[in-house]
Structure 1
Amino acid sequence: MNTATASAPQGTAFHIRPMTPGDSSAVAAIIRSVMTEFGAVGTGFSIEDPEVDDMYSAYPAPAAGFWVVERDGRVAGCGGFAALVGGDADTCELRKMYFMPELRGLGAGHALMEIVLDAAASAGYRRIYLETLASMEAARALYTRHGFEPLDGPLGCTGHGACNAFMARPLG
């Protein structure tokens, strides 16, 4: 697992670190909670992905990485990258980037995004892709601030047919 970590800007209380096997249940709970909050349940959403219950094993370094964000000693956010299934070898996918409400607006998304982008570029990828929902406006704004641009349709074979917003950006 990539060893990149980050601490919060002065005055905020979060810490980003690589995921460990012991984080699996907390990460699964975050994914299920946030997806449900945004109505993203059922077939075609990442909440149904088999990897959700064992995210640690699904992101082997150096071709992938996954991090958790802790606040007050509790895992409250997560995100990572891995090769885009069914995509070209130069493209990875931003995956499972979710934050509980208590982390939103503190800069955790920005900090985690910087780690993911740097690690994906270091892993040799030249482009990063993501799928989301148009209704996840704050997330899409974060992606846009980090150089992601909208695409007309999906790339690869993610299995997330219910997503309706697609974005990508170059790395490096």
Structure 2
Amino acid sequence: AYYDDATDHLHELFSQTPRSAYFVAEEAGEVLGGGGIFPTENLPADTVELVKLYLLPAARGRGVGKALIEQCLQAARAQGYAHVYLETTEELTQAIPLYEKLGFVYLPAALGNSGHFGCQIWMRKPL
């Protein structure tokens, strides 16, 4: 997982940023994971970033990540975005095939200015 200063302040960050959203997956009162969309600095105006996607290890492979991403895609459409962008690392071997299956395509370089210099994979999906 990638940590940055915003991780400890997700509620404040998302509640104060227009055209952003964050979703939490729960089961029987237990948080299984979360993910959101955020208008990252210097992205094209029609593009939002899929961010802060986290899942408990026990929730992986059960469709929870797919459901969170689909909720994020729906929110991006509702907010008027034309593309969803993401950055990830090669270590996330379960997530990358899911992104591909959901229609994300590889980009040759990063978009915007996320500050996540450890990411080697950049993808975007048209909505």
**Normalised by the size of structure 1, how large is the TM-score?**
0.70
1:57 is aligned with what amino acid? E
Of 81, 102, 105, the residue aligned with 1:125 is 81
Give the alignment partner of residue 52 of structure 2, picking from 96, 99, 106: 96
Larger strand fraction of residues: 2
Q: Which residue of 2 aligns with 1:116?
A: 72
- Alpha-carbon contact 1:62-1:123 (below 8 Å) kept: no
Residues 52-100 of structure 1, C-alpha deviations (whole Å, 9 max, x = no match): 1110121137501001111331112010001121111111000011101
Higher percent of residues as helix = 1
Mapped contact 1:91–1:126 kept (Cα < 8 A): yes
The counterpart of 1:151, out of the listed 107, 118, 121, is: 107
Which residue is 2:12 aligned to? Answer: 57
Sequence identity (%): 37
2:118 maps to a residue whose letter is A
Q: 1:141 aligned to 2:97?
A: yes
* Number of equivalent positions: 126
Aligned equivalents of 1:63, 1:84: Cα separation in 2: 11
Moved segments of 4+, more than 6 Å: none
> Alpha carbon RMSD of aligned pairs, Å?
1.3
Aligned partners of 1:122, 1:71: CA distance in 2, in Å? Answer: 26
The answer to whether the Cα contact below 8 Å between 1:131 and 1:167 also exists between their aligned partners in 2 is yes
Instruction: State the alpha-carbon separation in 2 of the partners of residues 84 and 62 from structure 1.
Output: 11
Larger Rg computed on CA atoms? 1
| Mapped partners of 2:13, 2:64: distance in 1 | 23
Structure 2: segments with no counterpart, 5+ residues = none
- Output the CA distance in 2 between the equivalents of 1:135 and 1:75: 23
Is contact 1:71–1:103 with CA below 8 Å preserved after alignment? no
Q: Normalising to structure 2: TM-score of the pair?
A: 0.93
